[in-house]
A and B are shown apart, each in its own frame.
Chain A
Amino acid sequence: MIADQLPAWQIVIPMLAAPLCVLVRNSTAAWVVAMVANLLTLLNAWALFVQIRAEGVIRYALGGWAAPTGIEYYVDIANASVILLVSFISSVVMVFAFHSVRKTVLTGKHYLFYSAWMLCLTGLLGICITGDAFNVFVFLEISSLSTYMLIAFGQDKRAFTASFRYLIMGSIGASFILIGIGFLYAATGTLNMVDLAQRIPDAESKRAVLVAFSFLTIGLMIKSAVFPLHGWLANAYQQAPLVVTAFLAGTATKVSLYVLLRFFFSIFGPDYSFGAMLLNVVLLPAAVAGFLLMSLVAIYQTDLRRMLAYSSVAQIGYIIAAFCIASQAGLTAGIVHIFNHALIKSALFMSVGCIIYQVGHAHSRSFDNLFSTMPFTVSAFIISGLGLIGVPLTVGFVSKFSLIGASMEKGWWLIGAMVLVSSLFAIVYIGRVVEVMLFRKSRMETPHSVGSNEAPLMMLVPLYVLVAVSIWFGISGSTTLDVAGQAARALLGGYQ
């Protein structure tokens, strides 16, 4: 009964929570509603994941309308794991949000904040779960619009301009995706992904498919912030409330990357995307330039949030580079890094959130000897930072090891070497901050403004949950690698 309807519940729960948050009005009550909905979503995602692993692909006809007419939800191991990841990150950050929102978001608007969050979650989950190309666009816009709102909740007035710039870029990206889907429909006469995958080989020679492919590529590159189309990301991550950044860093770009995978591998198929269309000629230089340049740029940032934002663009470069390898090993490495990076980056942003909560700013040069006042937060930052660098026993090592292994298997030695070089940049930008936090003696003219003790427990616990998970999967990396490997097989194998 309920087990049959899991794919629908996945969307319905957060979607219902959104208006409910508005109705209750009270800040704490809205948080409780959002939290409960989030936990239910997570539970549902876990059940779905277990079900997929036991029974294989689920094709769920929404409202009972069968595939070509109605909208179909298509769940396999690839999107089930992304759904699980998104729900998990959202739940953890939601716990973290309670205190942080009270302090940083305008009083009286909290219920709107949580409502927008729930809508955003709905959108992100919907993008993953749907099997209908146009539906992807709709959910994409749901998540994007609520994201613009969430970013505009930032404390500084620059949040508004950051949000507006993201809105312009995001709308262009989404419109490009819409155009692409339109051309695909014109060429094949269907919007269902499974049908599309079947019909595209016959329509490959049509110019409409080529145009669709180009528009989709650019649109998805904007949405997932692939260098050089990443301009919106740094401002948005810096100006948004830290909870939002922590949430988005682990989910939004990751979901876009998943859509990219779905379109390039399942729908167009790797032979078309990377064979006929030479996608790697376009994407690989962008990816490599992205992770090298952006790691370099990150070194020179004085604002911790901006530094981490540029590092995110660099990490997306790794993921794209892994996709370009377009082999089983490459795709596995890319998917595993989507997962691992989401954990690390959310944890990093959450620890920055704790710091901002207590210190009031994020200028990395003035965290003199922060370790003595906030040892737990700083330790979490250091551990996650080591993960970002890719030190053994952290998740970062698992991803980098498999990425380099995959590129060597393909014979792309240079790519492997460049990944290592950019890891060295990561040592520099993380190391600089850590050095200040640990060893620089406090100078008297910059006393820590507010309280100089630890953040509340409700912020530290979720932070450490993420850190613990990232260490767990760093030590037993084969768990995630297995799932990623199955997902890669599912994507490479096309629809059954």
Chain B
Amino acid sequence: MNPLWTLVPPLAVIPFIILFGEKQRNLREASIILAGIVLLALNDRIYSDVMSGQVASSGELKLLANFSLKLSVEPMGVMFGVLASFLWVVTTVYSIGYMRGHNEKNQTRFYCCFALAIACVMAAAYADNLLTLFVAYEAITLSTFPLVTHAGNADSRKAGRLYLLLLMCGSIGLFLPAIIWISSAAGTLTFTPGGVLSDAGLSKGAATILVCLLVLGVGKAAVMPMHRWLPAAMVAPTPVSALLHAVAVVKTGVFTILKVIVYIFGIDMVSSTNAAQWMLPLTAFTILASSIIAFTKDNLKARLAYSTISQLSYIVMAGLLATSMSVTGGAFHIVTHAFGKITLFFCAGAIMVAAHKKAISELDGLGRQMPITMSAFFIGAIGIIGLPPAAGMWSKLLIAGGSLDGGNALWVGVLMLSTLLNIAYLLPIPLRAFFKPPSSDISEISEAPMPSLWAIVLTAMVCILLFFFPQPVLNLLGLIQWR
């Protein structure tokens, strides 16, 4: 099926959101959920098309002389598309509870920008060439900017400024030159199995610089030192942090890096020229440093944000290791981390709505009042850490295996160390909530609103289901053409 259709539901729902507005909130949110379900069905259709061997693409829109905008279907993109559309539905359900429970203002603008961002994510997922991906990437930055500054106070405007500046500086200052360089060296920007740069006659130094431009320029991947925007963006409402800053936006970043490495550089070229030699240590540093920073944060969302930074660097590292196994692991980690992290963020939001607590040190004993939320938090945490029975284990295992495949055990050590740090900063939270006595009177606190609770339970279940049934995703990723 033509992937262009996936842009339709999120865009088509925007007029309805505006039409229904604040007056008919139920209709407004129902229309979003409907659009989400349609989108999910479309993506599912594309998934089954791909599994049965059909590959479709859209028409071209000529932008510049020999560069055009085009969408086409590709296994990694399908995975990302299905993931984002599924989580959009779940997050909308969750938002209903959260936004109403929190009495947020300007909800119509919020839902509009949200839908727009999802449309852009779909365009990114199904991009046929690097230019399309870049356009979608920029559009995501711009459409999520109003979400970050949603509250409109001084804090959120400062965060919005940082958000826009870091992401745009990176993409225009580093990523765009890399794209222009690639286009002048290879003459094309189309994603091609095996890469387009292998015959372009780039020197080893040039390839190394290109990798640096890519990894640092794609600021959404939050590799240090381009990570500052992510903790700052946590001023946004929690559904935004959950879907966009744990899934859609940041995953677009790492997805871009994986796509470029597989379909522009070609994994053979990256491994044979050792072009990633400067960036691999940087990702390792990011993994460890942000885990340690996460450890020091008492604000729950800030801790989760730094955890996200560290997990994103897993995926970047997996891409840079450039073996088919590690890239598969990285792509799978996009999914497993998404479910784990969104569960954690949902829980953080639920705690904020129900108990009005933001700091970890205030959570003592909360497990008795909010057992479902805190259990889900526990499942999400083991998913991030990578312990059975949660799916995070498989993806970490694949990345580690890929690293050994490439003959470098050092990075396995980094992964192990980071796992230990994960345990140290994530597990104490649910343990505290369940086993420490409450410090003050919390008897009036009860679970979060029902819609939010359903969403939390659903994502936590998927974390476990993917452990037992990882095959649908892995089969899909098995279709990637490496050469």
CB distance from A429 to the nearest CB of B (A): 12
Q: Mark A325-368, 1 if CB is under 8 A from B, else 0.
A: 00000000000000000000000000000000000000000000
Q: Mark B46-72, 1 if CB is under 8 A from A, else 0.
A: 000000000000000111110000000
Q: Are A404 and B177 in contact (CB-based, < 8 A)? A: yes
Q: Are A435 and B157 in contact (CB-based, < 8 A)? A: yes
Which A-chain residue is minimally distant from B68 (CB atoms)?
Answer: A478
Tally of chain A residues near chain B (CB < 8 A): 32
Interface secondary structure of B, over-half rule: helix
Q: Cα distance A417–B173 when bound, in Å?
A: 8
Contact of B149 among A392, A424, A439 (CB under 8 A): A439
Q: Are B152 and A481 in contact (CB-based, < 8 A)? A: no
CB distance from B147 to the nearest CB of A (A): 11
Residues of A within 8 A of B165 (CB): 424, 427-428, 431
Residue B289, interface by CB 8 Å: no
Contact of A420 among B61, B139, B177 (CB under 8 A): B177
Residues of A within 8 A of B160 (CB): 435, 439
Q: Mark B134-159, 1 if CB is under 8 A from A, else 0.
A: 11001100100010010011001100
Q: Are A402 and B64 in contact (CB-based, < 8 A)? A: yes
Q: Are A427 and B168 in contact (CB-based, < 8 A)? A: yes
CB distance from A404 to the nearest CB of B (A): 6
Residue A398, interface by CB 8 Å: yes
Q: Are B177 and A476 in contact (CB-based, < 8 A)? A: no
Q: Mark A474-487, 1 if CB is under 8 A from B, else 0.
A: 01111001000000
Q: Are A405 and B152 in contact (CB-based, < 8 A)? A: no
Q: Are A435 and B149 in contact (CB-based, < 8 A)? A: yes
Residues of A within 8 A of B180 (CB): 401, 404-405, 408, 416
Residue A4, interface by CB 8 Å: no
Residue B476, interface by CB 8 Å: no
Q: Cα distance A423–B164 when bound, in Å?
A: 13
Residues of A within 8 A of B146 (CB): 438-439
Residue A391, interface by CB 8 Å: yes
Interface residues of B in 17-69 (CB under 8 A from A): 61-65
Q: Are B173 and A431 in contact (CB-based, < 8 A)? A: no
Residues of A within 8 A of B135 (CB): 392-393
Residue A292, interface by CB 8 Å: no
Q: Are B138 and A391 in contact (CB-based, < 8 A)? A: yes
Which B-chain residue is minimally distant from A372 (CB atoms)?
Answer: B106
Which A-chain residue is minimally distant from B132 (CB atoms)?
Answer: A392
Q: Are B172 and A481 in contact (CB-based, < 8 A)? A: no
Which of B131, B135, B168, B184 gathers the greatest number of chain A CB atoms within 10 Å? B168
CB distance from B130 to the nearest CB of A (A): 12
Which B-chain residue is minimally distant from A402 (CB atoms)?
Answer: B64
Residue A441, interface by CB 8 Å: yes
Residue B372, interface by CB 8 Å: no
Q: Mark B175-206, 1 if CB is under 8 A from A, else 0.
A: 01100110110000000000000000000000
Q: Are B142 and A386 in contact (CB-based, < 8 A)? A: yes
Given that A404-B180, A408-B180, A439-B152 are known contacts, is A424 also in contact with B157, CB under 8 Å in the complex? no
Q: Are B173 and A421 in contact (CB-based, < 8 A)? A: yes
Which B-chain residue is minimally distant from A432 (CB atoms)?
Answer: B161
Which A-chain residue is minimally distant from B134 (CB atoms)?
Answer: A392
Contact of A435 among B161, B183, B184 (CB under 8 A): B161
Residues of B within 8 A of A386 (CB): 142
Q: Mark B65-96, 1 if CB is under 8 A from A, else 0.
A: 10000000000000000000000000000000
Q: Are B181 and A408 in contact (CB-based, < 8 A)? A: yes
Residues of B within 8 A of A428 (CB): 165
CB distance from B458 to the nearest CB of A (A): 33
Which B-chain residue is minimally distant from A485 (CB atoms)?
Answer: B65
CB distance from A295 to the nearest CB of B (A): 13
Q: Are B63 and A478 in contact (CB-based, < 8 A)? A: yes
Residues of B within 8 A of A475 (CB): 61, 63
Residues of A within 8 A of B473 (CB): none
Residues of A within 8 A of B457 (CB): none
Q: Are A416 and B64 in contact (CB-based, < 8 A)? A: no
Residues of B within 8 A of A392 (CB): 63, 131, 134-135, 138-139
Q: Cα distance A386–B145 when bound, in Å?
A: 13
Residue B169, interface by CB 8 Å: yes
Residue A440, interface by CB 8 Å: yes
CB distance from A49 to the nearest CB of B (A): 21
Residue A241, interface by CB 8 Å: no
User: What range describes how many residues of B lie at the interface?
Assistant: 20 to 34
Q: Are A476 and B63 in contact (CB-based, < 8 A)? A: yes
Residues of B within 8 A of A391 (CB): 138, 142
Q: Cα distance A121–B146 when bound, in Å?
A: 41
Residue A390, interface by CB 8 Å: yes
Residues of A within 8 A of B176 (CB): 404, 420
Q: Cα distance A390–B131 when bound, in Å?
A: 14
Residues of B within 8 A of A424 (CB): 165, 168-169, 172-173
Q: Cα distance A441–B64 when bound, in Å?
A: 41
Residue A271, interface by CB 8 Å: no
Which A-chain residue is minimally distant from B152 (CB atoms)?
Answer: A439
Residue A409, interface by CB 8 Å: yes
CB distance from B252 to the nearest CB of A (A): 15
Q: Are B65 and A478 in contact (CB-based, < 8 A)? A: yes
Q: Are B63 and A398 in contact (CB-based, < 8 A)? A: yes
Which of B65, B146, B165, B183 gathers the greatest number of chain A CB atoms within 10 Å? B65
Q: Cα distance A404–B172 when bound, in Å?
A: 12
Which A-chain residue is minimally distant from B154 (CB atoms)?
Answer: A440
Residues of A within 8 A of B65 (CB): 478, 481
Q: Cα distance A424–B165 when bound, in Å?
A: 8
Residues of A within 8 A of B181 (CB): 408
CB distance from A81 to the nearest CB of B (A): 17
Q: Are A440 and B164 in contact (CB-based, < 8 A)? A: no
Residues of B within 8 A of A438 (CB): 146, 149
Residues of B within 8 A of A402 (CB): 64
CB distance from A441 to the nearest CB of B (A): 6
Q: Are B138 and A476 in contact (CB-based, < 8 A)? A: no
CB distance from A190 to the nearest CB of B (A): 38
Residues of A within 8 A of B184 (CB): 405, 408-409
Which of B169, B172, B184 gathers the greatest number of chain A CB atoms within 10 Å? B172
Q: Cα distance A440–B139 when bound, in Å?
A: 23
Which of B134, B139, B177 gathers the greatest number of chain A CB atoms within 10 Å? B177
Q: Cα distance A231–B97 when bound, in Å?
A: 58
CB distance from B470 to the nearest CB of A (A): 36
Residues of A within 8 A of B168 (CB): 389, 424, 427
Q: Cα distance A268–B381 when bound, in Å?
A: 72
CB distance from B172 to the nearest CB of A (A): 6
Q: Cα distance A475–B67 when bound, in Å?
A: 11
Q: Cα distance A408–B183 when bound, in Å?
A: 11
CB distance from B219 to the nearest CB of A (A): 13
Q: Cα distance A490–B134 when bound, in Å?
A: 34
Residues of A within 8 A of B161 (CB): 431, 435
Q: Cα distance A362–B394 when bound, in Å?
A: 59
Which A-chain residue is minimally distant from B181 (CB atoms)?
Answer: A408
Residues of A within 8 A of B139 (CB): 392-393
CB distance from B228 to the nearest CB of A (A): 16
Q: Cα distance A481–B67 when bound, in Å?
A: 12
Q: Cα distance A475–B64 when bound, in Å?
A: 8
Residues of chain B whose beta carbon lies under 8 Å from any beta carbon of chain A: 61-65, 131, 134-135, 138-139, 142, 146, 149, 152-153, 156-157, 160-161, 164-165, 168-169, 172-173, 176-177, 180-181, 183-184
Cβ-closest 9 pairs across A and B:
A392-B135, A439-B152, A439-B149, A478-B62, A477-B64, A427-B168, A420-B173, A392-B138, A424-B169
Beyond A435-B160, A439-B156, list 18 extra A-B contacts (CB 8 Å): A386-B142, A392-B131, A392-B138, A392-B139, A393-B63, A393-B139, A408-B180, A409-B184, A417-B177, A420-B176, A424-B173, A427-B164, A427-B169, A431-B161, A439-B160, A475-B63, A476-B62, A478-B63
Residues of chain A whose beta carbon lies under 8 Å from any beta carbon of chain B: 386, 389-393, 398, 401-402, 404-405, 408-409, 416-417, 420-421, 423-424, 427-428, 431, 435, 438-441, 475-478, 481
List 7 A-B pairs, Cβ < 8 Å.
A393-B139, A398-B64, A404-B180, A408-B184, A435-B149, A478-B64, A478-B65
